[in-house]
Structures are given as structure tokens and as C-alpha cells.
Structure 1
Amino acid sequence: MTLSRATRLTATTAAALALSVFAAACGESKDDNSSSGSSAAASTNSSSSAANPNAEIKKGIKVVQIPKQLGNPYEDIEDNGTKEAITSVGGTFTRKGPTDAGASTQVPIIQSTIQQKPDAIIIAGNDPDAVAPALKQAAQRGIKVVTQDSDVAKDARTLFINQASVQTIGADEVAMLSEQIGGKGDIAILSATANAPNQNSWIEVMKTELKKPEYSGMKLVKVAYGDDDDQKSFQETQGLLSAYPNLKGIISPTTVGISAAARYLSKSPKKGKVALTGLGTPNQMRKFVKDGTVTEFGLWNPADVGYLGGYATAALVSGQITGKEGEKFKAGKLGERTIGKDGEIILGPLTRFNKDNIDDFDF
């Protein structure tokens, strides 16, 4: 699927990003980003109860957000969207997460959160299975579990807030790169961590797409992992160009990876010779588009992913929805939304950013 260059995001914009090198140490740490509305407690509804779409949103719901890692600019924007939604309905929002995106680093944070007895946990999973037992324990204690951006095992959560369909994201990235290299040449993928559920789902779609006749001239030679770390992603880009001198293009479906790769390419003799596309934010990638390092890339508004997740969680805690396919709820400024198969709620399609439209966006 190829999206129009004129496609525009309809949501509010978020703060500008700055690239950061993430800490290598593991462990739990709490973000200072804690905000509250009403302090009244809210009860937790059983997922087996019938939905009441006319139920009022309960005041004082307590929500804990667990991102993949603290210090990730993309996660910061997304989680601020969640905070906006939760506080707008009078709830309490607390954010805490690990300092790296390791497969199991979120587990002790989930376990400690259970002891706090919030109404809901919203999590972007680092690994679909590693966190599942702890999340199931949370559900057994009556805590609603919602995933956003990166899903976990389906039986460990009720809802999944997806940026766009997995098929759309993977297919569009292949299409963008094909357009930029004329459909021919060796290509590589620079991903985040090897266990990241969203990354792996998109990569599987990319591999399937590359088997189609229209992409027969493109050959995937390597999937590299930068672990959503700026410096490692930079080094992995250098390694790809060294190991594969005939490389024609790189897809990086991670905002950390694409910006690090662009930074390396911008100072490399390969600038303009090796195409780079993937998922990035306009503010992060603007200079690389304007200096010719990058022609086009795509994304959604991460703040809207978090905002949708916040309203879906509030509706779930309040009994407006139970997670069943076909149930509807109102998501504030994003309007009415419908739950799809397996509890999935999709934000919308990708927007493509290039020299013609990148200055129209500020996030």
C-alpha cells in the first residue's frame, strides 16, 4: 500500500525531540512524570461483565504507564499523550520504567506496581512472553492490562493500541525504499532489539512483501539490531556499509535507529548513494531530509497512540467496554473508536514525510 504524500496527521502535535544515548545499566527507576486529577478510588470491572457504553468515566482512576525504557524520545512523546488523556478524565497517571529495553527489565517494575494496586497498567512490551506471567498476575489482582505501541501475549492483556496495521507499516516501508532505489539492489534492516514484538511483526511483513514479483530485484542481506540505543545503532550502520559495499538501501523501523543511521550517512561518502527510510519523527529527521541524506520516511503521531491508549483504558476501567470485538467508545478529540479482533484498536495509517511537507509538522 502506497500512501499519498499529501496525507496529513489530524491530531495535536508534540514536543520536539533530541537524540540521546541511553544508559546501559538495568534496573527499575521511576520517572518524575506523575500527575493526578481526582483522588477518588475506582473499582475494577471484570472482563466477563457486560459492557455498558453509557457508563460514566470513573473519576480518580489510577493508571501506571510502563514504557519500554526511560529516556527514549519517542516513548516520552507517546506517554505524554497517555498522561493528557488520563488527567483529562480526572485520573492519576504515574510513569515508571527500566533504563534499558532488555527482554525482562520490565518484570520487576510490573511486580512492584501490582503491590500499589492501580486500576490499570499500560505497557509497551519489550518482549511478548517475558512480561506475560507478571501481567497475568496483575490481571488476577483485578488490574486492567492494556498494551500500546508494542504488544505482549494476547492472553496477558485485554486491549492493544496499535499505531497502524502491521501489514500497512511493513508494506509501506518496503514500498518507500523500492521507490527510492528503483526496485533493485541489496538492502538491510536496522531494527531495535531482537525481541521487540512490534519490530519483529513489521519485519516479517517486509520479508513477505519482498517475495512479491515487483520486489524481485531487491535482496535482503542482513537484519541488524541497534537495541534502540543511539550509539549502537550508529555503529551498526557503519558495520552494514562496511560489510556490504554494494548496499543500496536501509530500512530502520525505529525512531532511534533511523536518526542514528541518518547521522552516520550524512557524514559518509555513501550519502546520496545509499537510501535510508523507515520510521522517524519530523523534528528528528528534518535536517537529514533537507541536506539530502534522506528522501522520505513515515510515522504516525506517537502522542495520539498514547492518547488513544489512555481513553481506551479509562473506558475499560469504567465498564464502557470489556475488550470484545465490535465494542465502541469515545476517545476524546480522536472521536469514536471500535475494538477489532483480539482486542486491537488501530490509530490510523502512516503519514509520509519528505521535503515537500516536512515543515508542516512539528513533533
Structure 2
Amino acid sequence: MRRYMITSLLALALSAGTSQAASTWTGGDDLPTNPLACDGTPAAAAPVTYDGGSPAKAPDRNGKQIKVVDVPKLVGIGYFNSTSKGVMEAAKDLGNVSAKTDGSTKANIDDQITLIDNYITSGVDGILFSANDPVAIAPVLKKALAAGINVVGYDADAQADARQWFVNPATPNGVAKSLIDTLAKEIGPDGSFAIVTSTFTTPNQARWISEMSAYQAKCYPKMTWLETVEAQEDNILSFNQANTLINKYGSDMKGIIGMTSVATPAAADAVTQAGQCGKISVVGLATPNPMKPYIKAGCVKSAVLWSTTDLGYAAMEALRASADGTLKPGDKTFKAGRLGELQIINGSQILLGSPAVFTKDNVDKYDF
């Protein structure tokens, strides 16, 4: 059972004129949104002061061998297998880092908290994490900072002051625009759709969904957002949830958006087995290997994702630089090894860069 629940389960209010029912629970968070322009005009970035935390009385680690543990949301799925690969590649390139990945086989916040707490007790120099719940994980991360441990997040953030830096794979409003624009292109500006996410407390997905809700209301007000369902980053549950949506809404269902690398291929499988390829579009975030059969069969036109290996690589580079003191509050850019110079945004977030789009023409070029 999750230790904490979002205190308010009210849907985000949409602008007047949208066909989405006011009571629809989108699965987003309750933070302010900043939808991008419908015509693609770039948004101006506002300067934000550093808002991350700081390890208390950390020992001098500059250039010295350090021990790092990587604690993702869960282990055993392609997404986090590849982020772990990136972490290990960076550790090898750096030459003065001993790193390991450890986690539960389920996306369970209580297990994640217990694991991190155990590593604080046993002794590590650095912790990398992808949060299952941004609020629930914050106290144990603050405990790590108080113990002088360097803390860097990636993929899914915690409260900003509970870690030093967060490697952001993409801006939430950028993800939102990409997914909704792609969906609208496939099902039309007045189509009906549903979403399969992991949990309503998973920070990155809740943030993306909030921005998607705002962008859809602004740019495609005639679209109908039917429902958002949780699937716990579980393949069988994701398939069953997608199948339930297909049966529940029938011909009204025109599209499904998968918010995870597990949900998107599972939704594609459900659409395939239901004989709905060409009638129900599947759009979402996914690693290429699980999507290859559906893309090659023409049931899915494309899938979108950043390089998950590079995400883990950047996170490890950021932790090493934090430990060395070469990545400091107020910096505008960050040199991330083979990735080159990355931009720092929103005070304490390191932006990974542009995602890859996997299509029938290029999907065989990728292997993760």
C-alpha cells in the first residue's frame, strides 16, 4: 500500500468549451501548468535560482574513489535495465566510481524507502534514484543529505530540496505537446482517448498528464478525454487495463496513450488482439525493442523516448561532478562526459535533450 496519497483527487479544471467532462479524473498532479503554444512557438525560459538541497558536512570527495547505489522505481524491466547500463558505463568511464543498481521488482514506494534507508546505514557516498512518489521519498533522501551523502535523481523527481540535482529527460510541457499533437494527427482534433499510466503518484507521469490536460484543452478543445487508469508498471495489468478500456468504450475509443515503457507495448498488444489495429491508435513513450513487432505490423505508427542509457549516464556524471564540487548551484550548463554539455533549467534540473522517434524506417537501428 502506498504510504502517502495525493491529498486531492479533483480533476484539473479545463477551459470552457472542452468536451471533456468536468468530473473526469485525468491522473495529473495539482501543480500549475504551462502549456506550450499550439503553433509550436518556443516558450521563453525564465531564470530560476537553485532550489536543490545540499549534503551536510560532506567529506572531501574530489577525485577520490566513491561508492554509489542506483535505486530506480523497480528493476527487471527494459527501461531501468538500460538506465542502469548507462550508470555503469559512466562509472567505468570515470574510473573512480564503484556503482551498483538495486531495487524492488515492483514499483513500490515503501520498498524503495526501506532500501535507500538501508544504504544510508550501511554507508555509501552517493545515491541515484527514480522516485515512485515525490513526497513520500523526500524524508529518506533528506536523511541521506543530512548524512553527507550526494543525492541525484533522474527520470522521476522528488521534492527539489530532497536532492541536489535532477536529470530531466524532457520538459513536461514538451512531452505533453508531443504526445497530444501526435495523437491528434492520428485520431483527429475531435477524437476520444484514454490513458494507461503507472500510478497517480508517480511524479513524472502525473506532471506530464497535467500538462497534457492543459495543452489538450487549449489546442484541441473538442477532444474527449475518456479516462485515465493505473497499471503499476506491470505488463499483465497494463494489458488488462487497456483491454478493459477497449471493451468499455467500444467505437467511442479512438486512441490510447501509454505513459510508460510497459503500458505502451501492452496497449498495442491489447489493440492487436482485439482486432482494432487501424481503428484504435496507440501513442506513447516506450523503448524500441518491445514496440518493434507492433510498429513493423503497422498497428503503431511510432513510439517516442529519450535514450534511457544516456539518462543513467548523465545522472552518474552529475553525481560525480557534485561530489567533486565541479557542478555547483548557479551553474547554467554541465559537462556530462561523452554526452557533452547539457543545459541546466528550472534551478536544479539537468535537461537530457531531444528524444528519439522510433518508426518502421528506423526501429531496427535501436537495441534497448
Please indicate, yes or no, whether the TM-score normalized by the shorter chain is above 0.5.
yes
2:74 matched to which residue of 1?
69
Name the structure 2 match of 1:355.
360
Q: 194-203 vs 57-66, which deviates more?
A: 57-66
1:34 maps to none
User: How big is the shift at 1:351?
Assistant: 2.2
1:103-122 alignment runs, 5 A limit:
103-122=109-128
Check if 1:187 corresponds to 2:228: no
How is 1:152-301 mapped onto 2 (pairs within 5 angstroms)?
152-212=158-218, 214-245=219-250, 246-301=252-307
Residue in 1 aligned with 2:131? 125
CA distance in 1, matches of 2:149, 2:166: 15
Structure 1 partner of 2:324 = 318
Q: Which amino acid aligns with 1:262?
A: A
Contact 2:168/2:352 (<8 A) preserved: yes
Runs of 4+ in structure 1 displaced over 6 angstroms?
Answer: none
Q: Please tell me whether the aligned partners of residues 276 and 294 of structure 1 are also in contact (alpha carbons under 8 angstroms).
A: yes
- 1:56 is displaced (CA, Å) by 9.9
Residues of 1 paired with 2:101 and 2:356: CA distance?
28
| 1:339 positional shift | 2.6
Secondary structure, aligned partner of 1:93: strand
Match of 1:140 in 2: 146
Structure 2 counterpart of 1:16: none
Q: 1:170 Cα shift?
A: 1.4
Cα contact 2:126–2:151 (8 A) shared by 1: yes
Deviations 1:178-203 (A, max 9, x none): 11112222100110122110110000
- How far off its partner does 1:327 sit? 4.4
Aligned 8 A contact 1:194 1:227 in 2: no
Matches of 1:73 and 1:296, distance apart in 2 = 18
* Closer/same/farther in 2, CA of residues 289 and 57 from structure 1, 3 Å limit: farther
Amino acid at match of 2:188: G
- Is 1:345 equivalent to 2:350 in the alignment? yes
Deviation string for 1:41-67 (max 9, x for gaps)?
xxxx96699xxxxx9962411111001
User: Could you state the TM-score of these two structures normalised by the residue count of structure 1?
Assistant: 0.82
- How far, CA to CA, are the matches of 1:47 and 1:134 in structure 2? 13
Distance 1:155 1:179 in 2: 39
In structure 1, distance between residues paired with 2:112 and 2:55: 24
Q: Partner of 1:115: helix, strand, or coil?
A: helix
Cα distance between partner residues in 2 of 1:169 and 1:185 = 20
TM-fit CA distance, 1:99:
2.2
Q: Distance in 2 between matches of 1:174 and 1:128?
A: 25
Task: Report the AA paired with residue 100 of structure 1.
Answer: K
- TM-superposed CA distance for 1:352, in Å, is 1.9
In 2, Cα distance between the equivalents of 1:337 and 1:183?
35
Please tell me whether the aligned partners of residues 189 and 222 of structure 2 are also in contact (alpha carbons under 8 angstroms).
Answer: yes
The answer on whether the counterparts of 1:123 and 1:148 sit within 8 Å (CA) in structure 2 is: yes
Partner of 2:63: 58
2:61–2:323 Cα contact (<8 Å) kept: no
TM normalised by structure 2 equals 0.81
SS of the residue 2:262 aligns to? helix
Secondary structure of residue in 1 paired with 2:206: helix
Q: 1:279·1:299 contact (CA, 8 Å) conserved in 2?
A: yes
Question: What stretches of structure 1 of length at least 5 have no aligned partner?
Answer: 3-44, 50-54
My pick for the range that moved more, 340-349 or 157-166, is 340-349
The whole-number CA distance in structure 2 between the counterparts of 1:319 and 1:345 is 16
Please, which runs of 5 or more residues in structure 2 have no aligned partner?
1-35, 38-52
Structure 1 residue 243, shift from structure 2 partner? 1.2
Three-state SS of the structure 2 residue aligned to 1:211 is helix
* Equivalent AA in structure 1 for residue 253 of structure 2: L
Task: Determine the structure 2 residue equivalent to 1:84.
Answer: 89
| Whole-angstrom distance in 2 between the partners of 1:297 and 1:235 | 21
Q: Which amino acid aligns with 1:337?
A: L
How has the CA–CA distance of structure 1 residues 57 and 117 changed in structure 2, closer, same or farther, with 3 Å as cutoff? same
Deviation at 1:350, TM superposition (A): 2.2
**What one-letter code is carried by the residue in structure 2 that aligns with 1:114?**
I
Q: 1:313 to 1:221 in 2, by over 3 A?
A: same
CA-atom RMSD, angstroms?
Answer: 2.0
- d(CA) in 1 for partners of 2:318 and 2:249? 45
